[in-house]
Amino acid sequence: MAGQNPAIIFIQTKIKRMANMSYCRFENTLRDLRDCYSNMDSDDLSQSEFYARKQMIELCWDIYSEYCNNIDDEFEEEAE
C-alpha cells in the first residue's frame, strides 16, 4: 500500500467493513446505486468521494462488460 492514495485506502477499508446481508444485497445496492446516479453531477465531493465515484463508474463498466450478454439468457431461462 506504500505510495497509494490515502483516500483510496480509506474507501477500500470502509468497503471491507460494511457487510451487506446476502438476502437483500442486490436490492439494497440497487437503491444506493440509483441514489448515486441521481447525484453524479455533484460538485461538492470530498476527495474520497471523488475517487469512490470514479471507482464506482469503473466497477459498473466491469460488471456490464462481464455480464451484459448473460442477462438476456438468464431472463429467458426464468421465463421457460
What does the pLDDT read at residue 69?
A: 83
Of 28, 32, 70, nearest to 52 by C-alpha is 32
CA distance 67 to 55: 18
What does the pLDDT read at residue 5?
A: 74
**In the chain, domain spans:** 47-80
CA distance 64 to 61: 5
Give the mean pLDDT of 57-64.
94
Q: Which pLDDT tens digit goes with each residue over 26-43?
A: 998 999 999 999 999 998
C-beta atoms surrounding 23 within 10 Å: 8
What does the pLDDT read at residue 34?
A: 96
Kindly indicate the confidence band of residue 61, based on its pLDDT and cuts at 50, 70 and 90.
very high
